Structure 1
Amino acid sequence: MNRESLSPAARRALAGLALSMLLPSLDTSIANAGLPTLAAAFAATFAQAQWIVLAYLLTITTLIVSVGRLGDLLGRRRLLLTGIGIFSVASLLCGLAPDLWWLIGARAVQGLGAAIMLALTMALVNDVVPKTRVGSAMGLLGTMSAVGTTLGPSLGGLLIAHVGWPSIFLLNVPLGLLNGWLVYRYLPVDRPLNQPVAFDPLGTLLLAATLAAYALAMTLKSFSGPLLLVSLLGAVCFVQAERRARSPLIRMALFADSGVGRGVALTFLVTTVMMTTLIVGPFYLGRGLGLSSTSVGLALSVGPLMAALAGVPSGGLVDRFGDRRVVFGALLMMTSACALLALLPMGFGLAGYLSSIILLTTGYALFQAGNNTGLMTGVSAQQRGVVSALLGLARNLGLVTGVAAMGAVFTLATGEPTEASARVVGSGLHVTFGVATALLFAALVLRQASVKKRERACPR
């Protein structure tokens, strides 16, 4: 297959999109390492300080689909520029926060900008690169997403230790200015709309309430039961409202006709499992193996490094072999890696852990490139914003669910992880990644069943 080369302007436009994916992904986890410092700085309890993270995640989760749809209606480039501006200004406000509640409020505003950036970035790839290079571009964006999320804790800890806590937020200001300039200067201008703008306020409200209830259920344990019930009822009401709406926020036929439902479900399951490495890894490396803080940080950097190295080559494989083969191979690789993570460290210690992590993150890079390319090239241009947002939503829900559900599995297996012995922590690693293996095997079965169903419906 002949692959068209990218012009210098296209390369810079793609760099702008890469930054639009990296910055909000980085801020998903960069504040985690600073929670003890922030709690001490503002004389707050740890439970209060957790809202610095929760306000950001909840805002993204609640609004990402709605802003993706707005991008389809109003123009993705202009809305992306607005999102970058909101994110950058809010980051400045976070760094200048005089008290905890100011910081929490600024983080919520930052989450709005991040929702816009995450929702629209992938939808704009087709406007920047030729079709033969879409896989490589998606691989790059998948790399930025993975590196941002996994690098956040170690980078945040380094900045807080040597510069101070405001630096983890102020870092976004110059990078945001660069991001905005690249997008403004090199991204193609939005085409004028040939149809009247129509929005779905009822669907937007129902979806926001449903997602907020689910995200809170995953984070507020004492209210999880009632909140899960509210989210379930909200989901039922949302589906009914969308079926009747003249201009629905999400067209239900989208899930049946183009494999969007499968791709979103796979993203949710895979991201839930990837979050497990950020939960279990630090405890196993520190308490299970007795490594120093510096050694733990170096070991944790192996995953982001592999994601960075594998992202663009993974996209090249998608361009060459097609998204279906790559997604299948990626899920098979990740399932095997999780099984090895449950077994190898028990006999081979750090070497067993790192070799399994390398296999897992390489598979994740392949999955991101293949799954995202398949979805974004399989829908109409008018639906790319909302589909990109659905992928971002699935990823964010996976992160939230991974923290809650897989964290609960690890806690059940170890008792209290911060007080468990090395042997108990190792046993907890075995149990937790055993569950993760089962989740990825379910994803593999779902993928195969869905593909076979589509092949029967549309035989070649």
Structure 2
Amino acid sequence: MEQTRQSVLDGANWGVMAALALSMLLGSLGTSIANIALPVLVGAFSAPFHHVQWVVISYLAALTVSVIVAGRLGDIYGLRRMHLFGLGLFLLASLLCGIAPTLWVLIAARALQGIGAAFLMTLTLALMRETANETRIGQAMGLLGTVSALGTAIGPSLGGMIIAATDWRGIFLVLIPLAALALILAFISLPMDAGEDRTQTANLRTMITGSLVPSLLANCLVAAVMMSTLVVGPFYLGLGLGLKEAMVGLVMSAGPAISMFSGVPSGRAVDAWGARGILAIGLTMLAAGAFLLSVLPETLGVTGYVLAMVVLTPGYQLFQAANNTAVLADAPKDRRGGISGLLSLSRNIGLVVGASAMGAVFAFGVGTANLASASRAAIASGMQLTFMLATLLMVATLWMTFGRRTQAKRP
């Protein structure tokens, strides 16, 4: 019976991976595609910018607070069933965004879209673990990392092209056929027993074990460091190096571009050499890349910045593939949804910490909150302080991860 089930999964593998990859892409696109429309929405609704910002904030807030609930519902009612529900909700919310008559209706629809995205991005991890071949789990997780980076990278440029061709409504309406395609693929490809028929499920408190907490904390800290590149990078490139806006955007695209090409190879490395070794390499590269960001741009300019990202970004993908694989590899079937939710939650918290706390560190290093009036030397000082701290965080994460595992192996 088990062999028959496995052969069915292997035969439908590409359909399953396409459905789950497209689901992850939708969640990432929803995060990044609306940012480019904010100036247009200010004029379209004659609203102040601090109101229009909620088009982005409502999505991220709803996504963050819903990931645990989405994971738990997947454990209780079935991963496949709840994933299909999330796709349907995302599709409906995208339609409501596209036809919203007022700004506040748009904001409410974006919050609903964020809830749908929570189901997609959380249950996709659990379903990939449930359906992937045991020898290719790392590769499957690497594919999700690649698709997530792709969605984040192409969102602003795709949104800009759509707005130029139509109007702001087009950036939401374009998600409808993609969501419909993902819904059809998921309905056809996902095995009927993928995460279904749960007889019992553990509560959230029992999931947060001593072995899981360090992995979640590492996930949070790594996300904070990566977000700091997106927050601090534009200020340093524009004000510190004096680059024009178009060149800043081009240099900033280096990180997402590297992520797209390094995700699947990172997963294959996990399958070939094991999660623990790749986790060590990934964290080491993250520490090295953060350190290089603190020193190379000041000596080599744009070249130094790109070289540092060439080290940092593959390290992030190696960490993601190894950490997600390690956390989910031995997770009981009735807890995979909830644990996937915890992974998503820790990552989202890290993004918030990176945007707020690391941004505050940068401003402290610059010496003024009015960054536009700061000198190039002050901007460089803020950059160095931020990424020296990021280096220390990654070294501490490396020690915490492997120091804890070494102690766990002792009799």
TM-score, length of structure 2 as denominator length: 0.92
Instruction: Name the CA shift for 1:71/1:153 in 2 (closer, same or farther; >3 Å).
Output: same
The 8 Å contact of residues 153 and 257 in structure 2, kept in 1 or not, is answered as no
Give the unaligned 5+ runs of structure 2.
1-6
Whether the 8 Å CA contact 1:150–1:278 is kept in 2: the answer is no
Q: Cα offset for 1:312?
A: 0.6
The question of 1:105 aligning with 2:108 is answered yes
1:450 to 394, 404, 407: 404
Alignment partner, residue 96 of structure 1: 99
Q: Deviations over 1:83-103 (max 9, x none)?
A: 011111111211222211011
Cα-to-partner distance string for 1:238-292 (whole Å, 9 max, x where unaligned): xxxxxxxxx62x1336412xx2212111111000111111111222222222223
1:364 aligns with 2:337: no
8 Å contact from structure 1 (residues 92, 173) kept in 2: yes
- Higher mean displacement: 269-278 or 290-299: 290-299
Partner of 1:234: none
1:251 aligns with 2:205: yes
Of residues 177, 181, 199, the one that matches 1:174 is 177
Residue in 2 aligned with 1:131?
134
Q: Deviations over 1:357-390 (max 9, x none)?
A: 1111110110010000001112111111101111
Q: Aligned residue for 1:140?
A: 143
**Residues 425 and 146 (structure 1), Cα distance of their counterparts in 2 relative to 1, 3 Å cut:** same
Rounded to whole Å, the distance in 2 between the matches of 1:422 and 1:376 is 45
Deviations 1:199-255 (A, max 9, x none): xxxxxxxxxxxxxxxxxxxxxxxxxxxxxxxxxxxxxxxxxxxxxxxx62x133641
User: Could you tell me which residue of structure 2 aligns to residue 309 of structure 1?
Assistant: 261
- Point out the more displaced range, 82-91 or 167-176: 167-176
Instruction: Tell me the amino acid that sits aligned with residue 195 of structure 1.
Output: T
CA-to-partner distance for each residue in 1:422-446, whole Å, 9 max, x for gaps?
3332222222212211221221121
SS in 1 for 2:301: helix
Residue 324 of structure 1 pairs with residue 276 of structure 2: yes
Partner of 2:252: 300
Partner Cα separation in structure 1 for residue 219 and residue 43 of structure 2: 36
SS class of match (1:164): coil
Match of 1:77 among 73, 76, 80: 80
Give the number of aligned pairs.
Answer: 402
* Alignment match, 1:401: 353
1:58-92 Cα deviation digits (max 9, x unpaired): 11111211110110110111110110111111112
Q: Is there any run of 5+ residues in structure 1 with no aligned partner, and where?
A: 199-246
Please say which of residues 282-291 and 440-449 is displaced more in the overlay.
282-291
The range that moved more, 180-189 or 150-159, is 150-159
Q: Which residue of 1 aligns with 2:4?
A: none
- C-alpha change, 1:125 and 1:253, in structure 2 (3 Å) is closer
Q: Structure 2 vs 1, CA of residues 436 and 188 (structure 1 numbering), >3 Å: closer, same or farther? A: same
Contact 1:35 1:50 in 2 (8 A): yes
- SS of the residue 1:190 aligns to: coil
Match of 1:38 among 36, 41, 51: 41
| Amino acid across the alignment from 1:116 | F
Residue identity matched to 2:170 = S
1:441 aligns with 2:395: yes
Q: Which digits, 9 at most, give the CA deviation of each residue in 1:129-168, with x for residues without a partner?
A: 2100001000111222233334434444444445432232
| 1:64 aligned residue | 67
Q: 1:72 to 1:172 in 2, by over 3 A?
A: same
Matched-pair contact (CA < 8 Å) for 1:154–1:297: no
Matches within 5 A, 1:327-406: 327-406=279-358
Comparing 94-103 with 71-80, greater Cα deviation is found at 94-103
Q: Report SS of the residue matched to 1:418.
A: helix
Distance 1:195 1:7 in 2: 26
The answer (yes or no) to whether the contact 2:41–2:168 under 8 Å persists in 1 is yes
Aligned partners of 2:81, 2:106: CA distance in 1, in Å? 27
State the distance in 1 between where 2:314 and 2:29 align. 19
Q: Verify the 8 A CA contact 1:78 1:190 in the aligned structure 2.
A: no
Determine if contact 1:38/1:49 at 8 Å carries over to the other structure.
yes
Report the counterpart of residue 426 of structure 1 in structure 2. Answer: 380
Q: How large is the RMSD of aligned CA atoms in angstroms?
A: 2.1
Structure 1 residue matching 2:374: 3-state secondary structure: coil
| 1:87 matched to 2:90 | yes
Distance of aligned partners of 1:156 and 1:279 in 2 relative to their CA distance in 1, 3 Å threshold? farther
CA contact (8 A) 2:76 2:198 kept: no
Q: Distance between the aligned counterparts of 1:181 and 1:329, measured in 2?
A: 39
Percent sequence identity is 46
Q: Alignment partner for residue 242 of structure 2, among 282, 286, 290? A: 290
The question of whether the paired residues in 1 share the 8 Å contact of 2:90 and 2:179 is answered with: yes
Q: What's the TM-score, normalizing by structure 1?
A: 0.83
| DSSP 3-state at the match of 1:251 | helix
SS of the aligned residue for 2:371 comes to coil
Supply the AA of the counterpart residue of 1:16.
A
Question: For 1:417 and 1:160, how far apart are their aligned partners in 2?
Answer: 30
State the alpha-carbon separation in 1 of the partners of residues 186 and 137 from structure 2. 18
Q: Given the superposition, is the C-alpha separation of residues 431 and 152 from structure 1 closer, same or farther in structure 2, using an over 3 Å criterion?
A: farther
